[in-house]
Each structure stands twice: as structure tokens, then as C-alpha cells.
Structure 1
């Protein structure tokens, strides 16, 4: 198949336009989840505003003649998709910090700077941004696969008046989900102190790490989105990618925030088909307020 430009004919008469592009921003294949760094050639599908790696492109091709066009989009045409690119701001921050660290080493070691860069480990504060970007990219790819289930997804959205961002926002027929992706090691658990005679205190632990502050962060994001959408229900979720989840059970809620893993989250969202929320209109409203980072 000519990957440069192909029209696939689905079961309905609407054509799906796909074009080969060179990514300006990092992404992930919507089918297999493979990370796609900037500069990678991939297939962009206009109908779903998602990308696929070349190995996952379907082989069907319409026999209809197509208008001639350039085999590859020019760089200036490669703006982020309307839904945003998962992990893009974290990826940019990682690249910025990495370049700054390398420049510092080269300045310190002079002619031996290249060797110093090659032999030095990345600083943990820099590596953390790479790990975070990977987590967002992988979860983003899983969420993008829900397009056929009537779920609209927005990635990496700026919070107005702040340097912070919302990792993912999903809109279903039942409401809006505000999702924070984390790539932490260890098992997420809910620890409860107090009870009858003492105030009940809930703590979110991941391994031995107290991550309760993450719940507070999602609650603030939920509040911002709720102020915008009004009566539409808004739910918060912390999604831990590659955590040590048990084979049976494991998902829980604390402070009204769901704590779960990508496949479990995708299943919950895909099941929310019975409702009266106008997905397209709500998505447009949210996207106009929380713009792509």
C-alpha cells in the first residue's frame, strides 16, 4: 500500500483519510501503544485525529482515483491534532532539561565534554519528566482507542492562568472524566486510619510512598472543569501506568477520586453509553477553555 495518502472505506459511506506525516510532537500508536518520538514517520487519521505506527496501518485501499498531492506533509502543516498530543508538554520539558544538563557538562569538561555526556547518568529530576511523558503517552494511546465507543478524549490541556496542565479529559454520554496519569512503581493501596473514636483519615499509598497529595491535585482539576460544564457530572481519576496491580480487584476510590489502571479505566469509560450528555458539544466547550498545551 502507498502509505503517503490512502482512503479506507469503512462499513458506512464516509471515507477516512489517512496521510503519512513526520511527527513534530511525541505521540503513541493508537493500536499497539508504541511510543512515537518527534521526527518519526507515522500515519495520521483525520477522522479520529489519531496516529498509528507504520506497522499497524490497515492494508485495504479504495480503488477510487484520488486527487494528486504531496507524498508527505510539510513541517509547517503538522500542527497538533485537535484533541492534543498526550505527554507533549512533559516530553518538551524533558528535552529542555536534558539539553541544559548536557550543555552544563560540555562547558565543565571542555574538549572532554562529549565523553562526559556519554558516561554520565541522567539526573533523576530530568529523568522523571521522561518517565511521566511515557506514562501519559501510553495512557493516551489506550484512551484514543475508545473513539469507536463514542468517547471523546482531550490530551495535555493547559489550565488557564497556571503553568499546570490536565493530562487527559474524557467525555462520555454520562459525563466528563478528568484523568491524571502517573507512572509509579509499587502497588497503589488505600490506608485508612481512625474510625469510630477518631476522625477517619484516608491515605493513598503507592508502595511505601504517601501519594495522598495526588488526590488533592485531581480534586482541584475536577473543580475547574465542573465550573465550566455546570450540570454535567464530572469525575476524577488517578490512573497508574505499570504499577504493581493485583490479579484480582485492586481498583478503589478515595476522596471521590477513582484509582485504577489503563485497561480498567478504558472499560469503565466504554460502558458509559447510556446518558444524555451531548459529547460533541461538551468536548468543544472543554477544548475551547482548556487549550492544548
Structure 2
């Protein structure tokens, strides 16, 4: 058998990737983790809905996970980005942005997703701190407070149905759109929730909350703003290079063992789920992918 540089490459060093590396480290597998240090929740100040770690910052969670890996002398962390990936001699060959070429037997893809927000001044800077999109992640902390909801009209009713469990005083900022379905529009209005169609031009932070400026000069204030990304981009470029099967939304399809349609290639975290994106779920799938990856390696080694 050809000796590879590493047994496993984990591409992506956020919660799923580091969890996978932890399991592989405990399994005595020579592993390299490629981590560019840009996780999806980098701007969030707190991580919630994670039993036993509720309220811990994502930065601290990642730091603790990285610290756990240092005891494994056979797990390496690389800050390089993987830009090329191909089949090589019964394994895989990775090329980094520094032109380093590395060979491995198995791959775990944990490259996550990228959120694309409405192009509104100030929105990106407040994303994850004062502007939220996930009620399970942040709803409890801002429960029962008046909330501005910045969404396009086509999804306003669905968002309202979810948010109303946490916040009953909602004002919808539809940013130049409308709720076209008359029945849904009437239902929202009957609940006393204003539907403001004027475009939003700016969101800023104040000592008491958020200040939202509209194109017609109106000013709206609120302790919290909810919004939804206009697009969630699955970072599936490497999976595409290998020919992994994708879902309609772009997530990488896996079986129950987190293996993709390409033998020896696994996927974990947000990349491997079309919509349910939680820290706890990412960690769980990272551990699972690594365990089944290790099982494959053990079988191959045992059978010679």
C-alpha cells in the first residue's frame, strides 16, 4: 500500500471539522486539519441551544476544541486553504493556496456555508450580535421584546409563524416588497403587526438598541432585528471537484454514516444538511463522520 502523507484530511476547522479531528486523534489517525479561521458564526458573541455550553462564545468553543487537539501529536493544523482536490493512487491529493501538495487516504469535508445578506449599510457589522436569524440560537435572550423583522414579503408569513412563539410585538420591514397573498397579509395585519414596504437604507447601533433608517426618512428603533439571509451558499466547491452528489439546495448528500456518493469522502456540519444548522448538530455529525471514516480505515488495514 502506498504511504500517504496523512491518513485523513479534514477540510474546514469550525465545530464539525474540529469534532472530526478530535475523534480521529483519539483513534490514533495521522490527520491534518485545514482551517482558515473564518467560521460562519465568527461574529456571534454567544452560542446558544448547546446543552452544557449555553452562552459560551463561538470563539471560546473553537479555542477549547483546538486546545484539545494539541495533546495528539499526530493531528496537525494548517492555516492553508485547499484549492485543488483529485483522486490519487487509491486515495486523494490536495493542493493548497500555498502550492503545497498533500496525499491522504480519506477526506472529511466540513467547509460549511456562507450567508449572503441584504445589501443594507450596517447590517453585516451587526450580524450575529444584534441582528439575528435563528430563534433557537437567540430567541430566548430577546424573548417578549418588540422586534423588527427585516424580510422580503414572500417569506414574511412563515417567519412570523416561527417568531411569534418568542416575540408577540412584531413590525415587518419588507424592504421594497409586499406580502402578495391577501389572506396571509390580512392575518398578519389582524394580529396588529405593521407591514412597512419602504426600503431600509441603514441599520445602526445605539445605547438602547438598534436604529433603522428607511428611504422615506422614517426612523424605527428596536432592541432586536431579525432577518434572513437572501441566500445561504453551500461551500461545496471541493465536493463538486470530486463529483459528490448534491441536494437541490447545494448541500452535500450523505448516507447515515456521513459518507458522500464518492467512496472515502465524508461530509459533516452545515455543508451536509440543507437547513438544520446548529453548533450541536455540527459537532455530532463531525464525530460521526470521523468514527465511520476510522472504521473504514480499520477494515482496510485489517484486511491488508
Q: What is the TM-score when the length of structure 1 is the normalising length?
A: 0.27
Using CA pairs under 8 Å that are at least 6 residues apart, name the structure with larger relative contact order, 1 or 2: 2
Greater helix fraction, Structure 1 or Structure 2? 1
Q: What is the TM-score when the length of structure 2 is the normalising length?
A: 0.26
